[in-house]
């Protein structure tokens, strides 16, 4: 059963991971993980801190070499057909720096030019992206002087400039204010509607429940549940289901009584 | 409260020792070295009492003491980020009355190795001045004032500096300024020291320093010991005023830090044009984009600005010998030195990207584009510096026939350096200060790898250029044609090394790009 799983690969999937594994020292961060993300889906990748979300997404996008397993983007192997696969993907990583001595506008153009795009096309799209993300005023400011939310938005613009078919976003809404969150959501929703595929990781269950149509819950480097949002929730809220699967304590009970103002 | 803060400092000092064994070994070796220096200094100060007339003793103590005090003032700026353990801003959220906080921080500053060393040295001067009863009474007081002044002044600079460094621009300006001061001091200081061999000047310097805030407390007991009681007491009084002024200044800076702990961080006025900048000037290819990005970083990041300043100034250091009466032949080495530094310095370029390098991995940019693009800023600097320094060398020696040889060796060093660096920087990046960190700081635990990589790269460049150096020497002893041969060979050899190096480096890069990113996230 396991072997047939390993060999069968859904070539129509936007992203297809098979037996992906990575260990850091003696810690197994990702443990033989299989995942298929259908084209056109808005896919939420949720899990507690240290579940292996960032490691998985890094291996799926060519940033981190897996110890074992394969990753395919639209049928192209990320680790052998590298150039073609990378052309199809746009990435927003979490916890990595940016070339922050560039202005926001320059940083967007840099990701386009690195991919060998035509300069006039890059400039045109960069202006459109700045406008769509509400950053026209800040395009000339150095990225090092940006707030966290602006930094996320400018990274997203860099991930979008080459019109990728698959967007892989690691914590795109972290430290982003509600107005920017709504802007980013609208852009992503439009992108998914027109046939693009979005994978985003988050630990804000409420947000994932509102924007994603498919969800995978990951913990301990393995998928615990995967499917459409309703399949995974099975009648509960995503948060309740998540806590049930991952096994945390949702109710702190009667401890910390002294913290309650009413106890005075 | 004071006891609590002092206890915190003591705890931090002890926890600082609870690190890995290699660090502990390093600390013990450093400690033994420090102790031996301290032992020599203390016995020297005691020797000044026994073996030397008091005017010589005065010069030594006043100049040494002033230098020590100056060190306390400057150290927090050079070493910022090293000891922010009791950064006053961190107390902002606790409701500590400021009087108690000032006192607590001052006393806790005494709990440190440098403070202990300074205190011991101060106490040793009591022996130096035990030439009369009054001097024995005054010297401990003066020593206490001197030590406290050191600490108070150093707190003033560190608090002022940490206030300035809340703004990125301020922090960067200060670190570049310190670099220039350090280099300037090295240049000026070495020529001063040469002239100081005449003892009269030494006494003169001590006289001047003795009336500055740096030297007042150190020279007061000297006056008393020599019987000049009036001026001694005057200096002592002035020293107390200096100490009080330093404490007041610190107190007001502290108030500022506590009431505004995070400063106003956003530099929204920092808009710098909306254009493409260098991205509009280089070719619209991936290599051109990498070149534009490198050039932009070199112009805006203080870590590169410091490196550029060094590459520019170090060859100029070769002018010191001719200026102070040495051989003018030294100036001939300027162009080759510049070529070596410029080419060799690129061997760790990728480490300065830090994890921002992911953009290169994610876009799948070719190894060739990455390797070639990175060379752009140094190539631009070299196109001005190499011919310029070659001309300067010729002009100073009056031997213009040497120009082809000088420029040729410089060019050979530059291009082979580029080739070697293109391979090395794809192989093994070693830790460098991160963006926004102190450009002079070396991340701990990195020195062995750093030295190894630097030595391998340096040796490779030097060996590859040995033929050029030999032929260049032929030109120096009079064979003009050998100079032209040198230039021609430099072009051939250099281009070959550059072509081969970037080709090989590109292959390594394409195989190892994700591993490089992993290395970079590990060392940062």
Residue B268 has pLDDT above 80, yes or no: no
For residue B81, pLDDT over 50 is answered with no
Average pLDDT over residues B11-35: 71
CB atoms within 10 A of CB B104: 22
pLDDT at A163: 94
Which domain CATH number covers A92? 3.40.50.300
User: Which residues in chain A have their CB less than 8 angstroms from residue B360's CB?
Assistant: 114
Q: How many domains does chain A have?
A: 1
Taking 50 as the pLDDT cut, the residues of chain A under it are 1-7
B439-460 residue pLDDT tens: 555 555 456 677 788 888 889 9
B228 interfaces chain A, CB cutoff of 8 Å: no
Q: What is the predicted pLDDT for the residue at B270?
A: 47
Question: What is the per-residue burial (b if ≥16 Cβ within 10 Å, else e) of A162-189?
Answer: bebebbbbbbbbeebeeebbebbbebbe
Q: Look at residue A4 and tell me if it is in a domain.
A: no
Q: How far apart are CA B497 and CA B504, in angstroms?
A: 10
- B238 lies in a domain? yes
Residue-level pLDDT at B376? 94
- CA–CA distance, B367 with A13 (Å, rounded to integer): 30
Same domain, B372 and B251: no
Nearest-CA distance B222 → chain A (Å): 53
Q: Quick one: pLDDT at residue A92?
A: 95
Q: How far is B511 from chain A (nearest CA, A)?
A: 11
Q: What is the pLDDT of residue A228?
A: 94
Burial class (CB in 10 A: 0-12, 13-18, 19+), B504: middle
Residue A114 to residue B355, Cβ atoms within 8 A: no
The contacts of residue B321 (CB under 8 Å, 6+ apart) are: B327, B330
The DSSP bridge pattern shows strands A68-73 and A76-77 to be: antiparallel
Q: Residue B16: inside a domain, yes or no? A: yes
pLDDT digits (tens, 9 = 90+) for B201-259: 778 888 888 888 888 999 999 888 888 888 999 999 999 999 999 988 888 888 777 77
Tell me how close the Cα of A147 comes to any Cα of chain B, in angstroms. 8
Q: Identify the domain boundary among B196, B231, B262.
A: B262
Res. B325 pLDDT band, cuts 50 70 90: low
Q: Which residues in B321-360 are b (16+ Cβ under 10 Å) and which e? A: eeeeeeeeebbbbbbbbbbbbbbbbbbbbbbbbbbbbbbb
- Verify that B41 and B93 share a domain, yes or no: yes
Same-domain check for residues B250 and B190: yes
> Considering only residues 67 to 126 of chain B, which have any Cβ-Cβ distance to chain A shorter than 8 Å?
none
Q: Could you tell me if residue B511 is inside a domain?
A: yes
Whole-number pLDDT of residue A5: 45
Whether residue A63 and residue B517 make contact (CB cut-off 8 A), yes or no, is yes
pLDDT for B490: 94
Closest CA to B249 of B150, B160, B146, B147: B160
Which of B262, B290, B323 corresponds to the end of one domain?
B262
- Which residue from A minimizes the CA distance to B169? A145
Q: Is residue B117 in some structural domain? A: yes
* Same domain (yes/no): B241, B295: no
Residue B468 CA to residue B497 CA, distance in Å, equals 13
Domain count for chain B, please give it: 2
Chain B residues 296-325 with a CB less than 8 Å from chain A? 296-297, 300-301
The structure tokens listed for B524 are 């940062």
Residue A252 domain flag: no
Nearest CA in chain A to B287: A114
Contact assignment for A99 to B267 by CB distance below 8 Å: no
* Residue % of chain B over a pLDDT of 70: 80
Residues B504 and B409 in one domain: yes
- The tens digit of pLDDT for each residue in A179-206 reads 888 999 999 999 999 999 999 998 888 8
Give the domain extent around B48.
Answer: 2-262
Separation of alpha carbons B35 and B14, rounded Å: 19
Predicted local distance difference test score (pLDDT) of residue A252: 61
Tokens representing B493 are 């050899």
Q: What is the pTM of this model?
A: 0.75
Distance from CA of B519 to the nearest CA of A (A): 11
Task: Verify whether the Cβ–Cβ distance A83 to B168 is below 8 Å.
Answer: no
Is the CB of residue B449 less than 8 Å from the CB of residue B401?
no
Q: For B283, which residue in chain A has the nearest alpha carbon?
A: A119
The answer to whether B388 touches B524, Cβ cutoff 8 Å, is no
Per residue in B105-119, pLDDT (tens digit) is 888 888 777 788 889
ipTM score: 0.90
Name residues 423-452 of chain B within 8 A of A (Cβ).
435-436
Report how far Cα B184 is from the mean position of its chain's Cα atoms.
12
Judge if B360 and B454 occupy the same domain.
yes
Nearest alpha-carbon partner for B441 in B303, B312, B297: B303
Residue of A nearest to B168 (CA): A145
In a domain, A258, yes or no: no
Q: How far is CA B389 from the centre of its chain?
A: 25
Chain B hits for A109, Cβ within 8 Å = 276, 279, 289
**A6 CB-side CA count, 13 A:** 9
Tens digits of per-residue pLDDT, B86-142? 666 677 777 777 778 878 888 888 877 778 888 999 999 888 888 888 888 899 999
Q: DSSP assignment, residue B129?
A: T
Whether residue B271 lies inside any domain: the answer is no
Residue A74 lies in a domain: yes
pLDDT of residue B70: 86
3-class SS of residue A33: strand
% pLDDT > 90, chain B? 30
Domain that holds residue A222: 13-247
What is the Cα A113 distance to its own chain's centre? 23
Q: Is residue B275 part of a domain?
A: no
Shortest Cα distance, chain A CAs vs residue B457, angstroms: 26
Q: Does some domain include residue B268?
A: no
What pLDDT is recorded for position B298? 87
The partner residue sitting opposite B359, judged by closest CB among A62, A111, A142, is: A111
Task: Look at B435 and A100 and tell me if their CB atoms are within 8 Å.
Answer: yes
Contact B268 A110 (CB under 8 A): no
B286 and B389 inside one domain: yes
- Cβ–Cβ < 8 Å for A101, A142: yes
The radius of gyration of chain B from alpha carbons, rounded to an integer in Å, stands at 28
Residue A101 lies in a domain: yes
Nearest to A119 among B267, B284, B301 (CB): B284
Contact yes or no for A91/B359 (Cβ under 8 A): no
Does a structural domain hold residue B167?
yes
User: Is the domain of B287 the same as that of B156?
Assistant: no
């Amino acid at each position: 059963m396991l072997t047939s799983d390993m060999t069968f690969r859904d070539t129509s999937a936007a992203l297809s991971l098979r037996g992906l594994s990575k260990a850091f020292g003696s810690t197994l961060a990702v443990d033989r993980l299989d995942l298929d993300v259908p084209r056109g889906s808005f896919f939420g990748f949720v899990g507690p801190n240290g579940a292996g979300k960032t490691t998985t997404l890094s291996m799926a996008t060519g940033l981190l070499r897996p110890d074992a397993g394969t990753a395919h983007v639209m049928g192209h192997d990320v680790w052998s057909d590298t150039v073609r696969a990378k052309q199809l993907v746009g990435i927003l990583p979490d916890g990595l720096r940016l070339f922050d001595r560039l202005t926001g506008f320059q940083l967007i153009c840099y990701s386009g030019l690195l991919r060998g795009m035509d300069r006039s096309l890059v400039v045109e799209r960069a202006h459109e992206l700045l406008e769509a993300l509400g950053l026209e005023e800040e395009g000339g400011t150095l990225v090092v002087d940006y707030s966290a939310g602006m930094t996320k938005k400018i990274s997203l613009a860099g991930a979008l400039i080459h019109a990728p078919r698959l967007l892989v976003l690691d914590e795109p809404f972290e430290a982003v204010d509600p107005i920017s969150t709504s802007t980013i959501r609208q852009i992503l929703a439009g992108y998914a509607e027109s046939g693009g595929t979005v994978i985003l990781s988050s630990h804000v269950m409420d947000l994932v429940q509102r924007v994603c149509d498919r969800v995978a819950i990951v913990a301990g480097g393995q998928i615990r549940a995967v499917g459409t949002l309703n399949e995974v929730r099975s009648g509960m809220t995503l948060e309740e289901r998540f806590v049930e699967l991952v096994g945390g304590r949702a109710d702190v009970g009667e401890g910390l009584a002294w913290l309650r103002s009413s106890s005075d | 409260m004071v006891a609590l803060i002092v206890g915190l400092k003591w705890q931090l000092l002890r926890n600082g020792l609870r690190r890995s064994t290699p660090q502990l070994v390093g600390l013990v070796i450093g400690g033994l070295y420090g102790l031996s220096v301290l032992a020599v200094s203390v016995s020297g100060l005691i020797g000044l009492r026994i073996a030397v007339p008091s005017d010589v003793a005065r010069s030594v103590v006043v100049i040494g003491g002033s230098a020590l005090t100056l060190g306390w003032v400057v150290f927090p700026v050079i070493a910022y980020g090293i000891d922010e353990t009791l950064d006053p801003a961190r107390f902002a959220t606790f409701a500590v009355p400021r009087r108690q906080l000032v006192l607590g921080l001052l006393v806790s500053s005494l709990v440190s190795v440098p403070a202990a060393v300074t205190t011991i040295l101060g106490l040793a001067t009591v022996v130096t001045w035990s030439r009369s009863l009054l001097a024995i009474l005054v010297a401990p007081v003066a020593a206490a004032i001197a030590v406290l002044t050191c600490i108070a002044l150093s707190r003033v600079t560190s608090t002022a500096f940490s206030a300035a460094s809340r703004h990125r621009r301020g922090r960067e300006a200060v670190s570049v300024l310190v670099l220039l001061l350090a280099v300037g001091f090295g240049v000026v200081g070495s020529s001063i020291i040469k002239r100081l061999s005449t003892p009269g000047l030494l006494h003169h310097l001590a006289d001047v320093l003795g009336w500055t805030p740096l030297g007042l407390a150190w020279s007061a007991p000297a006056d008393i010991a020599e019987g000049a009681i009036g001026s001694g007491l005057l200096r002592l009084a002035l020293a107390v005023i200096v100490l009080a002024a330093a404490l007041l200044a610190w107190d007001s800076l502290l108030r500022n830090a506590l009431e505004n702990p995070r400063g106003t961080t956003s530099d929204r006025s920092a808009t710098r044009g909306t254009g493409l900048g260098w991205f509009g000037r280089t070719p619209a290819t991936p290599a051109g984009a990498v070149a534009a990005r490198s050039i932009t970083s070199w112009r805006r990041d203080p870590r590169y600005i410091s490196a550029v300043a060094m590459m520019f100034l170090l060859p100029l250091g070769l002018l010191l010998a001719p200026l102070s009466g040495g051989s003018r032949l030294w100036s001939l080495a300027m162009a080759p030195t510049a070529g070596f530094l410029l080419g060799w310095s690129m061997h760790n370029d990728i480490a300065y990207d830090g994890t921002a390098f992911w953009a290169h991995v994610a876009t799948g940019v070719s190894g060739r584009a990455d390797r070639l693009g990175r060379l752009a800023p140094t190539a631009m600097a070299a196109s001005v510096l190499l011919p310029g320094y070659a001309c300067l060398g010729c002009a100073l020696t009056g031997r213009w026939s040497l120009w082809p040889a000088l420029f040729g060796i410089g060019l050979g060093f530059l291009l082979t350096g580029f080739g070697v660096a293109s391979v090395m920087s794809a192989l093994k990046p070693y830790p460098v200060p991160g963006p926004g960190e102190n450009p002079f700081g070396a991340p701990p635990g990195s020195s062995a790898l750093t030295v190894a990589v630097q030595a391998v790269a340096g040796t490779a460049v030097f060996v590859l250029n040995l033929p050029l150096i030999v032929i260049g020497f032929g030109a120096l002893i009079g064979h003009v044609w050998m100079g032209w041969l040198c230039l021609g060979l430099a072009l051939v050899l250099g281009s070959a090394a550059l072509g081969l190096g970037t080709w090989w480096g590109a292959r390594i890069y394409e195989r190892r790009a994700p591993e490089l990113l992993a290395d970079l996230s590990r060392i940062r």
